[in-house]
A = this chain, B = another copy of it.
């Protein structure tokens, strides 16, 4: 490997000199630890209260390394939450892959798979907690929800009011997530996921394809 290839292969090196601190760039796992710490901080505190310093502390690296890898706090947020959520929302064929009258249930299952999975619940909480109070986070929420979810739904529906239908369906699921995971209102917070999917699927179907 030439020195040039080695430089390209080492993540974080290409933007400049390694930062000072406990951790130098290239240490395996630092990047993933930073993303995990960022998801935990943003989920617990929301965008405004989370700090790059606290994210660095949680990842056991120097704050300079966080900036070195990801740039500004906005960019850390985007990398941490969008990187974790976009693949889940982009799961192929969940929406188009089946009969039209099963779209409601497939959409509900897709969204529940995000909230009920430990790896994606935290970034989802981070987006919701942050987006209500911060325009950067709200823009990421809109991008995630509109690009990854509503646009595909609307395309699959192929109806003149498809966008509004998709948004009302998603609103039902956003509201359930708010009361169940953010506000933790009982009995919704502890209800069995399959029981909820059974109640939500026909209602979401009604929004998507009902009269």
Interface residues in chain A, defined as those with a beta carbon under 8 Å from any beta carbon in chain B: 45-46, 48-49, 128-129, 131-133, 138, 141-142, 145-146, 163-164, 167-168, 170-176, 178-180, 182-183, 185, 187-188, 191, 196, 199-200, 202-203, 206-207, 210
Give me the 3 closest cross-chain CB pairs, A-B, nearest first.
A175-B175, A171-B175, A174-B175
Q: With A and B bound together, what is the CA distance between A48 and B50 in angstroms?
A: 12
List, in ascending order, chain B residues with CB within 8 A of A176's CB: 168, 171, 175
Contact: A46 with B132, CB < 8 Å? Answer: yes
A141-B183, A146-B185, A178-B178 given; name 19 further pairs at CB < 8 Å: A48-B49, A49-B133, A128-B132, A132-B132, A142-B183, A145-B185, A164-B187, A164-B191, A167-B179, A167-B187, A168-B199, A170-B175, A171-B172, A171-B175, A171-B179, A171-B180, A173-B175, A202-B206, A203-B207
| Complex copy number for this chain | 2
Contact: A168 with B200, CB < 8 Å? Answer: yes
A-B pairs with beta carbons under 8 Å apart, 8 shown: A45-B133, A132-B183, A133-B133, A142-B183, A142-B185, A145-B185, A203-B206, A203-B207
CB < 8 Å: which of B133, B185, B199, B200 contacts A46?
Answer: B133
